[in-house]
Amino acid sequence: MTEPSAQYKKPFLYVVVCATGVADGVGNLINAAQERHRDIGVIAAPQGLGFLDAEAIPSQTGYPIRSAMVFKLVESAQQRWPAVNAPHLVTLVRAGARFERGQLVERPGAIAA
């Protein structure tokens, strides 16, 4: 299981598998993606591992199945990093505005001007 060379990388597709009956068809999806010259990786919810062939997938894709750790990292990130729930503020941030504890802090250039 090696990484593709930096010189030529195929487009990469991640498939996320949860605990459902259709998860056993992930092999068909892997084949279809590979026929279209895509590299493919599988992320499985811990409960989803029981619904797929966890031994065949790494040999089919060339990559290990990513599982519990990914979900723990996402959960941790969601607790630490607040979601952007005010898309209208993105323009302000791009213009240099800062927010501290959810409150707009004036831009340093605006204060001096």
How far is residue 59's CA from residue 54's CA, in Å, rounded to a whole number? 10
According to DSSP H, which parts of the chain are helical? 26-35, 56-61, 68-80, 90-94, 108-112
Higher pLDDT, 62 or 111: 62
Mean pLDDT of the region 68-85: 67
pTM (two decimals): 0.53
Statement: residue 74 has pLDDT above 90: no
Tens-digit pLDDT profile for residues 4-59: 555 567 788 988 888 877 888 899 999 999 999 999 999 888 888 888 888 899 99
| pLDDT at position 111 | 47
Residues 6+ away with beta carbon under 8 Å from 88 = none
- Quickly count: other Cβ atoms within 10 Å of residue 42's Cβ: 27
How far is residue 63's CA from residue 40's CA, in Å, rounded to a whole number? 8
Mean pLDDT of the region 56-69: 88
Q: If you count them, how many residues does the chain have?
A: 113
Looking up tokens 């993105």 gives 90
Residues 6+ away with beta carbon under 8 Å from 84 = 90
| pLDDT at position 5 | 55
Tell me how far the alpha carbon of residue 96 is from its chain's centroid.
27
| pLDDT at position 8 | 60
Higher pLDDT, 70 or 28: 28
